[in-house]
C-alpha cells in the first residue's frame, strides 16, 4: 500500500495549486468529476489503446497512427497547452497562439504515440480513484510489462460537456504537465515564444526510422 | 519443352553470373535483404532484433542503417535512450550525405540535446539537407528566416525556401505560402494565389488549411463563392478537431438551406485526401 500512498501524496501535492483556473469570462459551471466514472473512462481507454497496439499485421506506423487518434480525443490539449505555456500565453498574438496550439498538440501526440507504440505486452490495472480539487478526479493505475517493475501512473481527469478528458499524467510521481511547463518556460525566457515555436517545429519534423 | 528448359537454364546462368559480378560482399545489394529483415522486425515492434540486424550494417558504413540506429537511440527503442549516441550515428550517416540524418542533426544542434547548442551548425546542416531536396528541411529553413530567431530575418529568403517545399508537395509549406500571399510577406499580396495554396494543403488533409479555404469559399475571397464546398471543408477540419472550424461551420450551418447542408455532408463523407509528401 505504501508506494501508492506516496504516489497519491505526490499527486495531490502537484495538483494542489489551482492549475486550471477557468479563463476569465468563461461561464462554465464547475461540476465535480465522479471518480468512479473517471476510473471507468480510463479502463475503457486502456482497453481501446491495447487493442490498437496489438492489432495483428499492422505496421508500426499504422499502430502509431491509431494511438494518435485515441490520444487526440482523450486529452484536453487546449487547456494543457495554455497551462504549459504560462504567462507567455497572455502576451502571445492570435497567430502565435494558433501556431503554438497546433505544434504543441502535434508534439505531444508524436512523443507519446512513439513511446507507446513499441509496447504490445502491457496491461493496465486501475488501482483506485478519488476526487481532486473542485472539479477533477485522479485515477491511479499500475502498468505491468513483461520485464521490469510495474509502473505507477496517475491520470487527472475532468468531465466537460458530458465527455471525459485527460489533463495530466503523473508517472512515478512526476507530472507531465509541470515537467513540460518548466522546460517550455525556460526556453521562452532565453529565446522568446518564437524560439520555442522554432524548437517545437523542428521537433515535430524530426524524421523517424526509414524503410530504405 | 526442351527449348524452354534450355532457355530457363540460360536465364539462371545469366542471373548467377550477374550476381557474381555485382553482389560482392559488402555491396548495397547484399546489405539490402538484411536491411529489409531489420525493417520487418522494427515494424513488428521487435526493436532488439532490428538493432541486432542494423548495427553490423551501420558499422560497415550503410547510411540508412546508421540513420535508423540514431533514431532508435533517440527514441530509446531496443536500447536505452542515449542522445549522444543518436547524434553520433546521425553524424556518420550525414558524412555520407544522408539528408534525413542532416535534418535530425540540425535539430540536435538547435536544441542542444545530445550535443552543445550551435545554431550556426544547425543552419549549415539544414541547408545541406534542403539542397538535397528534403522538403521538411526546406520548410524548416524557410520558417527560420521568417521568424529570425537563429538567423537574420529575411522574408524574401523565407518565401524562396517555403515555396520550394510547397512545390515539392509539403502540406505545411503550402499552407504557409498561402498565408504569405495573403499577408504580402516576402512576396506581393495576392488573395487568389493564397486560396490556390490553401486549397492544395487542404486537399492533402491539413486541417488548418481546410478551415482557411472553407472561410474563403464562404466569403468568395480570392476564389469563387461556393457555400457547399465551404461547408464540406469546414466539416472535414472540424472532424479533425480544429476548434476554429467548429465555430465557422456552425455560423455557416445557421444560414444554409437543408439541401445545401446535406450535399456538403455527402461530399465530406466521400472525400479522400490526396497523397501527401512528408
A60 to B139: CB separation less than 8 angstroms, yes or no: no
A209 to B106: CB separation less than 8 angstroms, yes or no: no
**What is the pLDDT of chain A when averaged over all its residues?**
84
Higher pLDDT, B188 or B24: B188
Q: Which of B201, B197, B256, B191 is nearest to B229 (CA)?
A: B256
Q: What was the pLDDT predicted at B53?
A: 96
Confidence of residue A4 (pLDDT cuts 50, 70, 90): very low
Tell me the chain B residues in contact with residue A207 when contact means C-beta distances shorter than 8 Å: 67, 71, 100, 103-104, 136
Among A residues 25-64, those touching chain B with beta carbons less than 8 Å apart: 59-61, 63
Considering only A190-194, B57-61, B241-245, which range has the smallest mean pLDDT?
B241-245
Give the C-alpha separation, B217 to B20, whole Å.
Answer: 62
Chain center to CA of A71: 8
Q: Which of B36, B107, B143 sits opposite A206 (nearest CB)?
A: B107
Q: What are A123's strand-pairing partners?
A: A144
Helix/strand/coil (H/E/C) assignment for every residue in chain A: CHHHHHHHHHHHHHHHCCCCCCCCCCCCCCCCCCHHHHHHHHHHHHHHHHHHHCCCCCCHHHHHHHHHHHHHHHECHHHHHHHHHCHHHHHCCHHHHHHHHHHHHHHHHHHHHHHHHCCCCCEEEEEEEEEECCCEEEEEEEEECCCCCCEEEEEEEEEECCEEEEEEEEECCEEHHHHHHHHHHHHHHHHHHHHHHHHHHHHHHCCCCCCC
Q: What was the pLDDT predicted at A7?
A: 43
B97: how many CB neighbours lie within 10 A of its CB? 12
Q: Is the dihedral of CA B211, B246, B273, A77 positive or negative?
A: positive
Q: What was the pLDDT predicted at B277?
A: 60
Instruction: Give me B109's grid cell.
Output: 544542434
- CA of A173: how far to CAs of A10, A42, B157, B233, in Å? 6, 18, 47, 43
Give the C-alpha separation, A83 to B187, whole Å.
Answer: 36
Contacts of A123 (CB under 8 A, 6+ apart): A50, A143, A144
Q: Which of A114, A192, A199 sits opposite B111 (nearest CB)?
A: A199
Give the C-alpha separation, A159 to A107, whole Å.
Answer: 24
Instruction: Tell me the pLDDT tens digit for each residue of A42-96.
Output: 999 999 988 888 877 788 888 888 888 888 889 999 999 999 999 999 999 998 9
Distance from CA of B188 to the nearest CA of A (A): 20
Instruction: Tell me the pLDDT tens digit for each residue of B234-247.
Output: 999 999 888 889 99
B144 to A198: CB separation less than 8 angstroms, yes or no: yes
Residue of chain B whose Cα is closest to the Cα of A110: B75
CB B31 within 8 A of CB B63: no
Instruction: Tell me the pLDDT tens digit for each residue of B201-237.
Output: 999 999 999 999 999 999 999 999 999 999 999 999 9
CB B274 within 8 A of CB B203: yes
Q: Indicate if the pLDDT at residue A14 is higher than 60.
A: no
Is the complex ipTM higher than 0.85?
Answer: no
Size (chain B), residues:
278
CATH fold group of domain A2-15+31-203: Nuclear Transport Factor 2; Chain: A, (3.10.450)
Amino acid at each position: 500500500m505504501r508506494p501508492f500512498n506516496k504516489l497519491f501524496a505526490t499527486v495531490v501535492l502537484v495538483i494542489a495549486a489551482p492549475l486550471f483556473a477557468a479563463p476569465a469570462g468563461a461561464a462554465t459551471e464547475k461540476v465535480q468529476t465522479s471518480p468512479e466514472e473517471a476510473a471507468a473512462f480510463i479502463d475503457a481507454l486502456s482497453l481501446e489503446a491495447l487493442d490498437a497496439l496489438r492489432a495483428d499485421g499492422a505496421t508500426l506506423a499504422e499502430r502509431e497512427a491509431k494511438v494518435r487518434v485515441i490520444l487526440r480525443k482523450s486529452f484536453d490539449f487546449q487547456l494543457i497547452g495554455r497551462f504549459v505555456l504560462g504567462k507567455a500565453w497572455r502576451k502571445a498574438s492570435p497567430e502565435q497562439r494558433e501556431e503554438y496550439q497546433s505544434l504543441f498538440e502535434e508534439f505531444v501526440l508524436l512523443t507519446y504515440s512513439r513511446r507507446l507504440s513499441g509496447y504490445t505486452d502491457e496491461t493496465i490495472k486501475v488501482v483506485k480513484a478519488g476526487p481532486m480539487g473542485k472539479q477533477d478526479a485522479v485515477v491511479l493505475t499500475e502498468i505491468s510489462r513483461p520485464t521490469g517493475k510495474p509502473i505507477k501512473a496517475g491520470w487527472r481527469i475532468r468531465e466537460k460537456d458530458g465527455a471525459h478528458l485527460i489533463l495530466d499524467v503523473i508517472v512515478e510521481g512526476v507530472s507531465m504537465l509541470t515537467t513540460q511547463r518548466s522546460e517550455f518556460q525556460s526556453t521562452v525566457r532565453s529565446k522568446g515564444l518564437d524560439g520555442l515555436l522554432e524548437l517545437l517545429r523542428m521537433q515535430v519534423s524530426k524524421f523517424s526510422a526509414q524503410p530504405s | 519443352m526442351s527449348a524452354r528448359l534450355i532457355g530457363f537454364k540460360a536465364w539462371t546462368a545469366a542471373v548467377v553470373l550477374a550476381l557474381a559480378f555485382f553482389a560482392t560482399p559488402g555491396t548495397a545489394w547484399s546489405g539490402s535483404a538484411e536491411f529489409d529483415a531489420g525493417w520487418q522486425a522494427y515494424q513488428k515492434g521487435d526493436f532488439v532484433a532490428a538493432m541486432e540486424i542494423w548495427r553490423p550494417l551501420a558499422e560497415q558504413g550503410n547510411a540508412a542503417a546508421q540513420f535508423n540506429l540514431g533514431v532508435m537511440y533517440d527514441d530509446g527503442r531496443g536500447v536505452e535512450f542515449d542522445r549522444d549516441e543518436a547524434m553520433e550515428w546521425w553524424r556518420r550517416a550525414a558524412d555520407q550525405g544522408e539528408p534525413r540524418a542532416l535534418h535530425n542533426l540540425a535539430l540536435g544542434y538547435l536544441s542542444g540535446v545530445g550535443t552543445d547548442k550551435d545554431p550556426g551548425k544547425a543552419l549549415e546542416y539544414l541547408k545541406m539537407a534542403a539542397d538535397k531536396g528534403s522538403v521538411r528541411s526546406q520548410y524548416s529553413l524557410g520558417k527560420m528566416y521568417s521568424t529570425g530567431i537563429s538567423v537574420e530575418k529575411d522574408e524574401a529568403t523565407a518565401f524562396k525556401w517555403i515555396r520550394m517545399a510547397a512545390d515539392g508537395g509539403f502540406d505545411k509549406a503550402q499552407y504557409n505560402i498561402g498565408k504569405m500571399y495573403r499577408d504580402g510577406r516576402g512576396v506581393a499580396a495576392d488573395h487568389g494565389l493564397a486560396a490556390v495554396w490553401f486549397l492544395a494543403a487542404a486537399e492533402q488533409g491539413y486541417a488548418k488549411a481546410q478551415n482557411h479555404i472553407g472561410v474563403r469559399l464562404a466569403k468568395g475571397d480570392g476564389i469563387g463563392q461556393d457555400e457547399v464546398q465551404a461547408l464540406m471543408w469546414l466539416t472535414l477540419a472540424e472532424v479533425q478537431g480544429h476548434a476554429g472550424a467548429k465555430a465557422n461551420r456552425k455560423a455557416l450551418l445557421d444560414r444554409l438551406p437543408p439541401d445545401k447542408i446535406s450535399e456538403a455532408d455527402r461530399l465530406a463523407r466521400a472525400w479522400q485526401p490526396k497523397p501527401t509528401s512528408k
